């Protein structure tokens, strides 16, 4: 899968949760799994590793937004309802959001909140 000098990514700073629920379709309603979220999870996982984004992909159950799926949530960040659009543009939008969340997390680690406003601590 990876060739050359591959170095493992750092410990994940946050997760991105993807609904992979697939209905039996007895009710004829769409589901994230039925709209390709399992393949999307695999693709995002691969891109996260390749681009060394410190995020972990977590496959999870229904998020109660089935009609607009595939759905995914960046921990502490954006919620995406792809509405059956797993195009390159949407995937790039997700990767951009993951990179922005990474910057936000790293900035928080580099400059933790001060205790000056609370002298009791
Ligand atoms: S099947 Fe994904 S939100 Fe319900």
Domain ranges of the chain: 14-109
- Report pLDDT digits (tens) over 93-109: 999 999 999 999 999 88
Q: What pLDDT does 69 receive?
A: 96
- Report pLDDT digits (tens) over 30-45: 999 999 999 999 999 9
The model carries a pTM of: 0.84
Q: What pLDDT does 91 receive?
A: 98
Q: Whose CA is nearest to atom 1 of ligand 1?
A: 31
Distance 3 CA to ligand 1 centre (A): 36
Q: Treating both helix axes as pointing N-terminal to C-terminal, what angle do 88-110 and 37-50 enclose, rounded to 10 degrees?
A: 50
**Ligand 1 pocket, Cβ-based, cut-off 6 angstroms:** 19, 21, 31-32, 62-66, 69, 71
Report the run of H or E that residue 19 belongs to, with start and end. Answer: strand 14-19
Please give the Cα distance from 62 to 70 (Å, whole number): 10
Ranges of residues in the chain whose predicted pLDDT is under 70 = 1-3, 6-9, 115-121
Q: What pLDDT does 114 receive?
A: 73
Q: Atom of ligand 1 at shortest distance to CA of 30?
A: 1
CATH architecture of 14-109: 3-Layer(aba) Sandwich (3.40)
């Amino acid at each position: 899968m990876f060739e050359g000098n591959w170095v493992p990514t750092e410990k994940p700073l946050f997760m991105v949760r993807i609904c992979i629920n697939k209905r039996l379709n007895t009710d004829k309603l769409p589901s994230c799994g039925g709209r390709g979220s399992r393949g999307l999870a695999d693709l995002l996982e691969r891109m996260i590793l390749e681009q060394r984004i410190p995020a972990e992909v977590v496959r999870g159950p229904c998020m109660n937004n089935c009609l607009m799926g595939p759905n995914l949530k960046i921990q502490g960040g954006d919620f995406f309802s792809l509405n059956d659009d797993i195009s390159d543009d949407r995937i790039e939008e997700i990767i951009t959001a993951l990179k922005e969340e990474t910057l936000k997390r790293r900035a928080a680690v580099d400059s933790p909140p001060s205790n000056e406003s609370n002298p009791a601590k």
